[in-house]
Amino acid sequence: MSSSEPPREVLGLEIRLLEAVVAVAEELHFGRAAARLGIAQPPLSARIQRVERLLGIGIFDRDRKGVALTAAGAEVVAQARRVLAEAQSLGRLAEGLQAGTRGSVAIGAVGSAFYQALPELLGPVRAQLPDLQLRISEVETPDQVDVLLAGELDVGFLRPPVDRRLDARAIWQEPLVVALPAEHRLSRKKHVEASELADQPIVFFSRDRGPGYWDEVSDVFRSVGAQFDPTAEADHTTTMLGLVALGVGVTIVPDSARALRLAGVCYLPLRPTRDLTLSVAVLPDTAARNPAIGAFLNTLGQNQVGQ
């Protein structure tokens, strides 16, 4: 069904009967109205008569001078136009729901994805699917897996590794950077070697908050023969950076965290370079069951992986 072919019956009157009334009212000539509708004049006259019988009123005055609307007919035509507009709107809505261009998608994303990844990834989706409602909430990776599997979220943006019960693919990558107090002795360098962090107090979150991210940073330390043992913990990146600003320690964050621009915090590239990956995950076959999710993922897939 296309938007030009709305449901065939509304409020007990067939759409074609309302279309006939409106056509005659606008043309004020049965012959021209019939040609406009692509039917012969006798069937058109029969439709008008049927509407008048159903409503029990005269819609048109007919005499040798032509056709004119009655006072009651003018009210009927106004209402018929509104009903036809609603029917066409309903047709477009149904078509959009079938195609996935309308509806809603519940999205979860790790906090750090909001700095740059989500704005850049979802911007084109919003532009290409303006009638699709995106309901976005911050949910860390372990919790995302649970709510995705429970069907409480449609799409997740989370840090790998991803539970094998979910379909996932990498959608964004960005380098890790070192965040230090602005007055730190290393802040005057162009970059920070991983080995230079071995003797520094580290601010980070507990591993159960984001095991993939945590393991990536831990491997940075392991690669230089040091143990990753944070001396202060925080639940969110913003809190970690706040502690850095207070001089509690240093931390390692995605490059997009620079957007926070906290006073007293300096960001420097990490050497050797390490990338942090963001994956998009859904339940298997969810796109086939929900056209809106399918349209969302297809549009999202047009974007390049990476920063």
Quick: pLDDT tens for 180-216: 999 999 999 999 999 999 999 999 999 998 899 999 9
Token output for 73: 């007919």
Local confidence band at 14 (pLDDT 50, 70, 90 cut-offs) = confident
The pLDDT assigned to 257 comes to: 93
The pLDDT assigned to 96 comes to: 61
Instruction: Tell me the β-bridge partners of 202.
Output: 250
Quick: pLDDT tens for 114-168: 999 999 999 999 998 888 889 999 999 999 999 999 999 999 999 999 999 999 9
The pLDDT assigned to 100 comes to: 57
**Taking 60 as the threshold, does the pLDDT of residue 7 lie above it?**
no
Query: How many whole angstroms separate alpha carbon 6 and alpha carbon 10?
Result: 10
Quick: pLDDT tens for 221-275: 999 999 999 999 998 899 999 999 999 999 999 999 998 888 999 999 999 999 9
Name the H helices within 177-236: 211-222
DSSP one-letter code for 29? -
Quick one: angle between helices 41-55 and 15-27, nearest 10?
Answer: 110
The pLDDT assigned to 13 comes to: 60
**Can you tell me which residue has the tokens 């202060």?**
232
Give the H or E element holding residue 167: strand 167-181
- Contact between 257 and 177 under an 8 Å Cβ cutoff? The reply is yes
Please tell me which residue, 47 or 2, carries the higher pLDDT value: 47
The pLDDT assigned to 132 comes to: 87
Token output for 131: 């009638």
Look up residue 255 and give its amino acid. Answer: D
Q: What is the mean pLDDT of residues 298-305?
A: 70
Whole-prediction pTM value?
Answer: 0.70
Alpha carbon of residue 224 to chain centroid: 41
The pLDDT assigned to 16 comes to: 86
- Contact between 258 and 116 under an 8 Å Cβ cutoff? The reply is no
Look up residue 87 and give its amino acid. Answer: A
- Average predicted confidence (pLDDT) for the chain: 87
Query: How many whole angstroms separate alpha carbon 48 and alpha carbon 29?
Result: 12
**Taking 70 as the threshold, does the pLDDT of residue 5 lie above it?**
no
49 HSE (CA, 13 A, CB side) = 7
Rounded to the nearest 5 degrees, what angle is found at the Cα of 174, between the Cα atoms of 172 and 175? Answer: 160
First-to-last C-alpha distance (Å) of the chain? 41
Length of the chain: 307
Q: Could you tell me the domains of the chain? A: 9-99 (1.10.10.10), 103-170+278-300 (3.40.190.10), 171-277 (3.40.190.10)
**Taking 50 as the threshold, does the pLDDT of residue 2 lie above it?**
no
Local confidence band at 67 (pLDDT 50, 70, 90 cut-offs) = confident
Local confidence band at 53 (pLDDT 50, 70, 90 cut-offs) = confident
The pLDDT assigned to 254 comes to: 96
Instruction: Tell me the β-bridge partners of 181.
Output: 265
The pLDDT assigned to 289 comes to: 79
Lowest-confidence pick of 39-53, 200-214, 291-305: 291-305
Contacts of 267 (CB under 8 A, 6+ apart): 177, 178, 179, 253, 255, 257, 258
- Contact between 248 and 180 under an 8 Å Cβ cutoff? The reply is no
**Taking 90 as the threshold, does the pLDDT of residue 51 lie above it?**
no
Query: What percentage of the chain has pLDDT greater than the value 90?
Result: 57
The pLDDT assigned to 185 comes to: 93
The pLDDT assigned to 285 comes to: 82
Q: Report residue 160: phi and psi, to 5°.
A: -70, 160
Alpha carbon of residue 168 to chain centroid: 17
